[in-house]
Amino acid sequence: MIVVLKPEATENDAMRLMQRIEERGLKPLYLPGVERVVLGALGDERVLAELNLESEPLVESVKPILTPYKLVSRDMRGHDTEVKIGKVSVGGERVVVIGGPCAVESEDQLRETAFAVRESGGVALRGGAYKPRSSPYSFQGHGEEGLKLLKQISGETGLPTVSEVMDTADLPLFVDHVDCLQIGARNMQNFRLLSAVGDTGMPVVLKRGLSATIEELMLAAEYILARGNNNVILCERGIRTFETATRNTLDLNAVVYLKQKTHLPVVVDPSHGTGIRELVTPMARAAIACGADGVLVETHRNPAQALSDGKQSLTPPQFLQMVRELRTIAEAVGRTL
């Protein structure tokens, strides 16, 4: 940790701060410069962070050297972590396609879509029972009823399921009904939910928040791993920028960066990442090409009738075509699908 002092700081001030650093069992360094005095502090920066040196009136800035995350880092664990959703492994040599409707609407809709996903080569079923919607006047999901349908159709198709949990109070219900939890973008920093999900030990797809930095995503995952649950799949789903032609800006840089910094699997959601049906398949191809471990894609038997996000849902034939194209790309980068 590097501590830059303000020009008015005296040598005495510097000594006092160095003493504070030393009291924490760390090694202080004194680096007098021409325009500013700079202090160094060597040791575990997570201890140093508690000193809150940036609050000192004579401190101009504090620059951390080490990353604030630890358990999710490749430094901790050199090999890739594989996470199991039911019998499906995510993060290995095989690229995964997870498909399904934005929301569970009805038994027929879910069954029909699920079989289409399976026949196209999809290996898990996604579907929302509790839907986060900007407006209170929009369809909010069928709740418990939706979870029951997911379990039923999972039994019929053999596909394991992924569904978003929005509140700690609902967790017991999810543990009983789905194979993998999802934490949505809007809840990426709902720290109570992260910890509670960590306690379940269940696999979880953790979506990046709309304006979360890559580092914040890793720290959110750290909350889950800190509870002893390593079954975290990171998901890039687009960030909010000034661009309005697309619903979000899909940040594939983040995929490559995450794969280099963490040992966790990384998947991509090109449906929310683009918001436009015609962009989903090309961006799914790009995701696999840059190294993602899989994609999460919305598909609906009849998008024009979908209760939510129909504009970005693929039809079953489009979904099938996408899987075919992804297979070719997966092979081009030395993987399978």
The contacts of residue 297 (CB under 8 Å, 6+ apart) are: 97, 98, 99, 269, 270, 271, 280, 284, 314, 319, 322
Q: Label each residue of 208-254 as H, E or C.
A: CCCCCCHHHHHHHHHHHHCCCCCCEEEEECCECCCCCCCCCECCHHH
Residue 64 token pair:
């951390």
Is position 12 an interface residue for its own copies (rule: CB under 8 A)? Answer: no
Is position 75 an interface residue for its own copies (rule: CB under 8 A)? Answer: yes
The contacts of residue 46 (CB under 8 Å, 6+ apart) are: 68, 70
Tell me the closest approach of the beta carbon of residue 271 to its own copies, in angstroms: 12
Residue 41 token pair:
């502090």
* Nearer of residues 108 and 304 to its own copies, judged by Cβ: 304
d(CA 212, CA 331): 32
d(CA 59, CA 224): 33
Tell me the closest approach of the beta carbon of residue 159 to its own copies, in angstroms: 24
Among 142, 207, 263, 285, binds its own copies (CB under 8 A): 285
Tell me the closest approach of the beta carbon of residue 95 to its own copies, in angstroms: 13
Cα-flanking dihedrals φ and ψ of residue 206, to 5°? -105, 110
Cα-flanking dihedrals φ and ψ of residue 162, to 5°? -130, 130
Q: For its own copies, what does the binding mask look like between residues 229 and 248, x meaning CB under 8 A?
A: ----------xxxxxxxx--
Report the side by side order of strands in the sheet with 59-63: 27-32, 37-42, 2-5, 59-63
Q: For its own copies, what does the binding mask look like between residues 86 and 125, x meaning CB under 8 A?
A: ----------------------------------------
Tell me the closest approach of the beta carbon of residue 308 to its own copies, in angstroms: 7
- For β-strands 88-90 and 83-85, DSSP reports them as antiparallel
Separation of CA 300 from chain center: 23
Q: For its own copies, what does the binding mask look like between residues 174 and 203, x meaning CB under 8 A?
A: ------------xx-xxxxx-x--------
Tell me the closest approach of the beta carbon of residue 197 to its own copies, in angstroms: 13
Among 10, 167, 172, 317, binds its own copies (CB under 8 A): 167
d(CA 89, CA 81): 10
Helix axes 214-225, 252-261, angle to 10 degrees: 50
Tell me the closest approach of the beta carbon of residue 140 to its own copies, in angstroms: 8
Among 10, 19, 213, 336, binds its own copies (CB under 8 A): 213
Among 15, 22, 68, 317, binds its own copies (CB under 8 A): 68
Q: Which stretch binds its own copies (CB under 8 A): 78-86, 111-119, 151-159, 270-278?
A: 270-278
- Chain positions 124 to 143 lying near its own copies, rule: CB under 8 A, are 130, 132-140
Among 14, 101, 223, 230, binds its own copies (CB under 8 A): 223
Q: Comparing C-alpha atoms, which of 104, 116, 182 is closest to residue 149?
A: 104
* Nearer of residues 89 and 276 to its own copies, judged by Cβ: 276
Among 92, 249, 320, 321, binds its own copies (CB under 8 A): 249
Among 83, 180, 232, 288, binds its own copies (CB under 8 A): 288
Is position 29 an interface residue for its own copies (rule: CB under 8 A)? Answer: yes
- Site size for its own copies (CB under 8 A): 110
Tell me the closest approach of the beta carbon of residue 277 to its own copies, in angstroms: 8
For residue 196, what is the enclosing H or E element?
Answer: helix 191-200
* Nearer of residues 125 and 307 to its own copies, judged by Cβ: 307
Residue 273 token pair:
């990442």
Q: Which stretch binds its own copies (CB under 8 A): 64-72, 80-88, 91-99, 112-120?
A: 64-72
